[in-house]
Each structure stands twice: as structure tokens, then as C-alpha cells.
Amino acid sequence: MKIIELKETITASNDLDAEVLRGEMKAKKTLLINLMASPGAGKTTLLEKIISNLSPKYKIGVLEADVDSDVDAIRVSMAGAKAIQVHTGGMCHMDAGMTRCGLEALEYDELDLVFLENVGNLICPAEFDTGAGKKIMILSTPEGDDKPLKYPLMFRESDCLVISKMDVKDYFDFDLDKCINRAKALNPNIVIFPLSAKTGDGFSEFIKWLTEQIEEWIR
Amino acid sequence: MKIIELKETITASNDLDAEVLRGEMKAKKTLLINLMASPGAGKTTLLEKIISNLSPKYKIGVLEADVDSDVDAIRVSMAGAKAIQVHTGGMCHMDAGMTRCGLEALEYDELDLVFLENVGNLICPAEFDTGAGKKIMILSTPEGDDKPLKYPLMFRESDCLVISKMDVKDYFDFDLDKCINRAKALNPNIVIFPLSAKTGDGFSEFIKWLTEQIEEWIR
């Protein structure tokens, strides 16, 4: 597995860098999605399912951002995506410059869809525009329905909230309505998909929305 | 609920500040424990159980550090601890100066034991010495047994690893031996307690160890 060692990009203009990158990717018809969640919320599992669903139709790449290891990049590349592992040099997030380095190493020109699987963290990744066209966050039911109260920026910044591990929601006393109301109070436009990657429930609605986003970006 | 709004302490000498704070707390016979974990790993639930177990014997305080909300401070204060909510001003971690501000607001002089419930995050809190006498991390089984590979610093820095939500480990294919071996490879001295706050299994062994740490600190 190819591993890229990154250092934080020293730039005062991350927002500008991100806009430039987003424009370039729009021109090349590649949709970059910034996928964010806590450690263990199910980012890689969701990606594996997306890849096996969409890879016949779209060419998919994945930038796996982690402080260490390459276990996730191996998993998504076995699922059928072009994958690269980026190490963040201890950093808790990816910024636009780091994302550009990863994309160049991935040679993304021929790809329709690239996922940036961000570092597992509900705080810092929300603060940095990576240049992605869409931002998806995952909250897993074992984490609790109070998370919008405690990590509001992530919910405000995301276009889409996937509520994962719905098959165990009752075991963890996760109140779906409360969680949805809390997320919508922070971000009325957020699109929410409760699903279980294990049972497949709710997955097709999410894939339908994702396909619409890709089609809109690449047309 | 009293809420303290913090800003990041601007100091080049966090390690020194932390050493000074640790010395002061040793002199005052108050053990400060830095409790770290991902969002939703069960920090507050574990604290509630610890407080109801130990509060007859020890005076306990809690600094609840969050980016926003005061739900956790309310929970632990209902469990019987003197609690204060600190807001980190968007910061993803607590440092020694921020901890000192919180401790002063808590008026900790009469307390035997203070928990700093750090921001939910497996990366940044591991990088900052808060002045705590002991560091405890929690990993919950839904997060997966691969987390030591991806967040090694947290496992290296902690004195104790609580593996929580053991009652659902089989559902999430969590391999306990693999997880323990990975944690011990990073930190041979780490003390590990697999437990379930829901069923109570494994909890008494953890409380025994915790009581020993308190007795050693305050004697």
C-alpha cells in the first residue's frame, strides 16, 4: 500500500486554496466528498458498501487520512476503489493543501468520485475546508443522540448526515427523532439518512441521493 | 449549571505549567485524572458509576470539557459529584492552563479526586499534558479493535485503558485479545480493564485499581 507522509500546509489562505481546488475538480468532473466521523463510526464500512454498489457505474478513488496505519486503505482497495493512504503527521484534520497532495498522488484525473476519509474526529475536520464538493458526516447510534449538542460545528458544516448502526439503536437507547431534531435545529438543510450497513436497511435511499450528487457534479 | 468559557492558553511552556500544577495538586492531596476517549465511548456513563461507587468514601469533582452544551455536567452532578462545565472555545483539547482555570472555578481544595472529562477526541487530547496525576482512556467495543493502530499516541500516553461496552463486543466482532496485544505493543505498562457499565461486569476490578491510585496519591 502506497503511503504519503504529509505535513500541515503552512498557508494563511486555506479557504482560498480550497476554492481553487474545488474549481479544478469541477472542471475535471471529479466529485470530491469529505467524509467525517468519530473513530469507529463506520466510515470505512460505509465506503466499502458504496464502492461495491457504485463501482460498476463510476470510477472511484479514496484518500484514507489517518495519523498512522494503512488498514483502511487496504480495505477499500479490496472493495474495488483506487486507494491511497495519507498520514497526517500527527495532525487531527486535513486541509486543502494536504488534500491536494493526496489527490495528486492518487492521480485522480480519470476518476468520477473521490472520497476523502478524514481523520476520525468530530471537531477539527469540521474547521477546515478541504476543497470537497460535498461534506458527509456519519454519527453511529452507539455514540448517542446528544452529539449535535456537543459537536455543533460538524453538524452545521455537513451537507448530509448518515446515522449508522441503526440495527443497534434500541440497545443504546438512541432516540432517532431527538437526534434528527437536534441536527435540523443546527442545520435546516442537512439531508439525513438513518441506515445500517450490516442489514442494508436505508442504504438504497442514501445511494440514490449520492448518485444525484455525482450526476449533478459531472454533467 | 455554571459554565466557564475558556480560550486556549498562549504559552510555550505547557509541559512546565503541567508539572507545576501536578505538584500543587500532590501537595493538596487531590488526584486529578485526565479521562479521554472518542465521542460516545462512555466517559460520562463510566463517571456516573465511579461517582456512585466512591462518593461515600471520597469527595469527587468533575471538570466537564466540551466544545458546547452542559448535558454531561448535569449528569455527573446528579450522580453526586461537584461538577463544572468548561467550554473550550472550539478547541479540541484541554491544556494545563485551561485545566487550571477550570480547577480554580471548581474550588477543588477540599476534593480528594477530580476527573477532567476531556473533549471527545482520540488525537489532540493525547498531545497535551494537563497536569493530571493519571491518564485513563476508554475505547468502546463498537469503535473496533484496530484503534491502537490508528491512534497510537493515545494508547502510549495512557496509564489505564478501559475497554467499555463489553456486553456488545460479539455483535461488533471486537477481538479483545487482538486489541489488548495491540495496546500492549505500544505501551507495555498500560493497565487494561475490559468492562460493561451496563451489566457491571469487570467494574469491581477497575474500581479496586482506581482506589489504589487515589490512596497512593493522597497518603
Q: Could you tell me how many CB contacts below 8 A there are between chain A and chain B?
A: 107
Q: What is the rounded CA–CA span in Å between residue A113 and residue B144?
A: 27
Instruction: Write the DSSP string, chain B.
Output: --EEE------S-HHHHHHHHHHHHHHTT-EEEEEEE-TTSSHHHHHHHHHHHHTTTS-EEEEEEESS--HHHHHHHHTT-EEEEEE-TT-SS--HHHHHHHHHHHTGGG-SEEEEE--S-SSGGGGS--S-SEEEEEEEGGG-TTHHHH-HHHHHH-SEEEEE-GGGTTTTT--HHHHHHHHHHH-TT-EEEE--TTT-TTHHHHHHHHHHHHHHHH-
How many domains is chain B built from?
A: 1
| Interface touch A120/B168, C-beta < 8 Å | no
Say which of A68, A124, A127 has its CB closest to residue B149.
Answer: A68
Query: In chain B, which residues have their Cβ closer than 8 Å to the Cβ of A36?
Result: none
Interval A2-25: pLDDT, tens: 666 766 555 568 999 999 999 999
Does B107 contact chain A (CB < 8 Å)? no
Q: CB count, 10 Å around CB of A205? A: 13
Angle between helices A96-106 and A14-27 (to 10 degrees): 30
CA distance A66 to chain B (A): 6
Asked if B17 and B98 touch (Cβ cutoff 8 Å), the reply is no
Say which of B121, B140, B146 has its CB closest to residue A71.
Answer: B146
| Interface touch A123/B127, C-beta < 8 Å | no
Give kind and range of the element (H or E) at residue A65: strand A60-66
Asked if B44 and B76 touch (Cβ cutoff 8 Å), the reply is yes
| Interface touch B123/A121, C-beta < 8 Å | yes
CATH number at A56 reads 3.40.50.300
ipTM of the complex: 0.86
DSSP code of A149? H
Asked whether residue A178 carries a pLDDT value surpassing 60, the answer given is yes
Interval A39-68: pLDDT, tens: 999 999 999 999 999 998 999 999 999 888
**Which chain A residue lies closest to B126 (C-alpha atoms)?**
A90
Asked if B159 and B135 touch (Cβ cutoff 8 Å), the reply is yes
Interval A79-108: pLDDT, tens: 999 999 999 888 888 999 999 999 999 999
| Interface touch B67/A151, C-beta < 8 Å | yes
Strands A191-194 and A160-164: parallel
From first CA to last CA, the distance across chain A in angstroms is 33
Q: How large is the average pLDDT for residues B78-83?
A: 94
- By residue range, what is the domain housing residue A203? 3-218
Q: What is the rounded CA–CA span in Å between residue A107 and residue A4?
A: 13
**Chosen from B72, B118, B151 to mutate, greatest number of chain A CBs within 10 A:** B151
Q: How large is the average pLDDT for residues B116-142?
A: 96
User: CA quadruple B52, B56, B58, B61: dihedral positive or negative?
Assistant: positive
